Structure 1
Amino acid sequence: MLKTYTFPQYEYRRSAEQREGVVKRHPLVIIGAGPVGLTAALDCARRGLPVVVLDDNNSVSMGSRAVCYAKRSLEILDRLGVGEALAGQGVRWQIGKVFHGEGLAYQFDLLPQSQHKMPAMINLQQYHLEERLVQACQREPLVDLRWKHKLVAIEPGADGVALQVETPDGVFALQADWLLACDGAGSDTRALLGLDFEGQVFQDRFLIADVVMQAEFPTERWFWFDPPFHRNQSVLLHKQCDKVWRIDFQLGRDADPVEEKRPERVIPRIQAMLGPDAQFELEWVSVYQFACRRMKNFRHGRVLFVGDAAHQVSPFGARGANSGMQDADNLGWKLQAVLQGRAPESLLDSYHAERAAAADDNILNSTRSTDFISPKSRASLRLRNAVLELARSEAFARPLVNSGRLSMPTPYRDSPLITPDEDDFEGGVAPGCPCVDAPLADGRWLLNALGQDFMLLSFGAEIADGPVPVLQVDGLAAERYGASPGTCYLIRPDQFVAARWRRFDAARVAAALARSLGGGPDAQA
């Protein structure tokens, strides 16, 4: 039990196939009702796809777990109808400060540009996020949430997947055209299929302490290297809602995880940081190790792995949950196109092509962060400390400081779905990159106006015969997109740029659209 939160208990219900004793086939089944599975379910339902979600628990995640949600994830959630509420509930921040010893090494601003709907980052305990997503799914008639349903057997086939599911009323069978494994790092789906990760497990241990307290710290991300209250190690501080603060203490490789979680070990560490007279209560404590690794392939026939079930990174940089929600965002529109007959099944191979590249980018950045935070040799330690000292006064050293490169969306520049520039562009939003938000003249935000299907952005020119709906924009959006009069952008359903041109050409737009849908002969908007 937590002091600031009461965990909901969701009701187990017998399904229709259990009551009737029949095996039913569903277009889409999702394993796991965490942030990634719920995001995927909500996205698919908003695209008209009925989805069954199975989870072996009947509540939200215990402990705050993931707490940092980046601008891109908030934009995805806003498209699904929950972004504004989450941004309002969470603690907004964009300034980070890095300390070395007793002094400030440097600070950064995640969103120096104004006029964006969503903030650079919010801090919000994972259980709050999950509860809001559950509520949104419960309001969605195309989402069938089934609690206390545990996957115990799986048999993939050429055109679907057969499942055995254990419930309080026994085991029953169901089938799926497509299965999304969103069941986390310890994925039952992955284990049942005999699949594994490739990559590296780190030996360093870290203590998470969620602390309830009144504090005067500003709403910023503070990271210390070798602070006086925790010598030769690092500490991270984040503010969450409900007067809860997240503190991460680096413990080293030899720390005993059972011993370090005891209050008599945790409380003195916090007192050393805050002062002996500080008033606080422990909310949640955990000790963790982490890994940087991924599956060789995210698609195995009709089974697709999403989020932590497909890849793992260290928590530094908030790349885990954010990357998982971006996986779901990438996959939903492709499933829609395939299931509705608008694209060939091979379009789903691009899910792996695009999101494995993103996973590799996250793993690279996460590994570099870990190496900087936990140097493995004396020479590496001396180099790191020199960088931190130089960063106080020398601008060139600041980009070398790495307390966790914070989550940013990975461009899909090498994707087979993206049409490279044929016209000359300087600046703007390149093909393969996510759209940038801007206010529109009619009071809407650009990302809200784009919706969730293919769209052609036209800057300063009327287009009457486009192969997809056209949105005419100007003003600040034209500046951010490097657009001169006549410029047009083809936007994908996940709000990534598929192609762009200096003038509209129906044939080139149609070719780029077909390429975005996998290039099949029946590809159409």
Structure 2
Amino acid sequence: MQTTFENPRYPFKHHSDLNQGTAVHHPVVIVGAGPTGLAMGLDLAMQGIPSVILDDNNTVSVGSRAICFAKRTLEILNRYRCVSPMLEKGVTWKKGKVFFQQDLVYEFDLLPEKKHKLPAFINLQQYYLEQYLVEFIDTQQQVDLRWLNRVTEVTPGVKGNRLKVETPEGSYVLTCDYMLVADGANSPIRKQLGLESRGQVFKDRFLIADVLMQAEFPTERWFWFDPPFHPNQSALLHRQADDVWRIDLQLGWDADPQREVLEANIRPRLEAMLGEDVDFQLEWASVYTFQCRKLDSFIHDRVIFLGDAAHQVSPFGARGANGAIQSVDNLGWKLASVLKQQGPTTLLKTYDIERQMAADENILNSTRATDFITPKNKISRVFRDATLQLAKDYEFARTLVNSGRLSTPARYLDSPLNTLDDEEAFDGGVAPGSAALDAPIIIGDKTSWLIDILGTRFTLLIAIDKTDISRVGESLPELLQSVGVDLVPIFLFSESTDLEVPKGAMCICDPWGYVAQRYQLEPGTCYLFRPDQVVAGRWREFTSDSLISAVNRALGFDMEVMP
């Protein structure tokens, strides 16, 4: 098989912990240097929290694996300041087509709305993402990434954890306040602790083939039900970087995984799909089985699970890696608040509450997609095929077609951290528990984006007119000292102004009205954003009491609302 990517080999480096005769303590130890673990280290670094990342390997992932990265994931990586190489290398797309047999059923657009900094999706092989994260981590003093460091023993406790680590130069012992487990779907740590991930394994197999070729297919997501080249099964086509195309082919439960990954068996399937005259090279192949499962709790004392170690979904819908990065985004600021003693330790419970909500949603969507793609009986197959036939002409039927509901931002609408508002006062806008919506803005004399100034700390957005800035501004300096966290007020004007804003505040302009429209702003409207760019609360008139109350609630101090 030909390859367009040569895996880097990162050297083992001697570190001072190996020289100690006793256990060395670190606030946070992360196990696993895949996308989840690497992103977790960067997120904590943004919050000023040092961490140690341990990985038993010395390279990035072998094979493309996750390739579809959604807009919300890109916004999170943008906050880490490492999204640029992904955008430069990745393939941007937002449109898709669904086929039934030889016919086009319908097309869709994942981001019809204009004026967003980042695209709906990019396709980029997972090994590139990991490589970029590693390169950026190498510039961060707060992250200690250790290759060829394998955790062999874990002793968890209510006050901390003890880890034994094996290296090429011998073993050593670490203790930590919190251990974050991101060691993958087969998580050795999860097994050591005797924890079980519960769920469903679907009796079907799929072939992933990465194909290097020059092709005229547009940069879109194409999905076929029962295509002529692969009858009674399904197929998926995506373009990646380097002229590599991802092809997924349904095989059926009786397929032999060891035989199906042989090039001699893959090539005839691809020739039937692409045409015998198409010149292509097979770069990588794998056979997988759908699994939808998760831990009952992602937190066990001071051991916290993330990514595939916590929850698994089927690949259709691109909810695995995208969901994992959102989990990192959710946990990072909460753990930092606890370690800085700005929030109670019980704040961490809301990571489990909120991300269980998201995992349930991802698993539900993944399970429904699997059931639609692979009907379990003749009646289900008749219903599916009839739905596809109707979808050619009727909009209502298209909502029933499920080739994988693509990843969207998690909405924590029932989170105990939300300050609920008067629903009649906001007939639209962005509800508490929802991720921020981007829009173009002006800062000074430069055009920028709202998403660039939100995140990592609490942010208060105030839609204000020139007549009211003095009243609000006078109370801010003292108020900012009393909230107990790093909070940035942002004064939003509908047009440029030379008015002086209070020290520590930021002034932005919304001359096109996109921010006002998307957030349903009126003069005086306030939005409080959490450090993960999620809306914590909103209200129509600024008061000191409303801000303090919303910040305290977002930090988990109103524990009577906790289950």
Shorter-chain TM band? over 0.9
Alignment of 1:502-513 (within 5 A): 502-513=540-551
Alignment of 1:85-124 (within 5 A): 85-124=85-124
Partner of 1:203: 203
Q: C-alpha separation between the residues in 2 aligned to 1:299 and 1:277?
A: 54
The 8 Å contact of residues 344 and 520 in structure 1, kept in 2 or not, is answered as no
The 8 Å contact of residues 151 and 164 in structure 1, kept in 2 or not, is answered as yes
Q: C-alpha separation between the residues in 2 aligned to 1:128 and 1:151?
A: 26
Question: Alpha-carbon deviations, 1:475-515, whole Å to 9, x = none?
Answer: 21111101111111000000000000111121111111101
Partner of 1:517: 555
Partner of 2:213: 213
SS class of match (1:416): coil
Partner of 1:471: 490
Partner of 1:161: 161
Partner of 2:531: 493
The 8 Å contact of residues 440 and 446 in structure 1, kept in 2 or not, is answered as yes
Q: C-alpha separation between the residues in 1 aligned to 2:383 and 2:491?
A: 52
Q: For structure 1, which segment, 416-425 or 124-133, has the greater mean C-alpha deviation from structure 2 after superposition?
A: 416-425
SS class of match (2:322): helix
1:85 is displaced (CA, Å) by 2.0
Partner of 1:179: 179
Alignment of 1:128-143 (within 5 A): 128-143=128-143
**Among candidates 449, 457, 462, match of residue 461 of structure 2:** 457
Question: Alpha-carbon deviations, 1:178-235, whole Å to 9, x = none?
Answer: 1100111011111111101111011100000000000000000000000000000000
RMSD of Structure 2 on Structure 1 (CA):
1.1
SS class of match (1:289): strand
Partner of 1:148: 148
> Percent identity of the aligned residues?
54
Q: C-alpha separation between the residues in 1 aligned to 2:491 and 2:211?
A: 49
Partner of 1:398: 398
Q: What letter corresponds to residue 180 of structure 1 in structure 2? A: L
Partner of 2:499: none
Partner of 2:497: none
- Equivalent pairs counted in the alignment come to 521
Partner of 1:4: 4
1:14 is displaced (CA, Å) by 2.1
Q: C-alpha separation between the residues in 2 aligned to 1:153 and 1:128?
A: 31
1:444 is displaced (CA, Å) by 1.5
Partner of 2:336: 336
Q: C-alpha separation between the residues in 1 aligned to 2:77 and 2:453?
A: 15
Partner of 2:275: 275
Runs (4+) of structure 1 moved beyond 6 Å? none
Q: C-alpha separation between the residues in 2 aligned to 1:439 and 1:286?
A: 42
The 8 Å contact of residues 2 and 281 in structure 2, kept in 1 or not, is answered as no
The 8 Å contact of residues 73 and 325 in structure 1, kept in 2 or not, is answered as yes
Q: What letter corresponds to residue 271 of structure 2 in structure 1? A: Q
Q: What letter corresponds to residue 421 of structure 2 in structure 1? A: D
The 8 Å contact of residues 36 and 328 in structure 1, kept in 2 or not, is answered as yes
Question: Alpha-carbon deviations, 1:4-45, whole Å to 9, x = none?
Answer: 011100010122111233321000000000000000000101
SS class of match (2:461): strand
Q: What letter corresponds to residue 435 of structure 1 in structure 2? A: A
Q: Does 1:437 align with 2:438?
A: yes
Partner of 2:23: 23
Q: C-alpha separation between the residues in 2 aligned to 1:215 and 1:392?
A: 27
Q: C-alpha separation between the residues in 2 aligned to 1:117 and 1:8?
A: 31
SS class of match (2:441): coil
Partner of 1:73: 73
The 8 Å contact of residues 2 and 282 in structure 2, kept in 1 or not, is answered as no
Alignment of 1:304-319 (within 5 A): 304-319=304-319
Q: C-alpha separation between the residues in 2 aligned to 1:374 and 1:317?
A: 15
SS class of match (2:251): strand
Q: Give ranges in structure 1 of 5+ residues lacking alignment.
A: none
Partner of 2:230: 230
SS class of match (1:292): strand
The 8 Å contact of residues 343 and 520 in structure 1, kept in 2 or not, is answered as no
Q: Give ranges in structure 2 of 5+ residues lacking alignment.
A: 481-486, 493-509
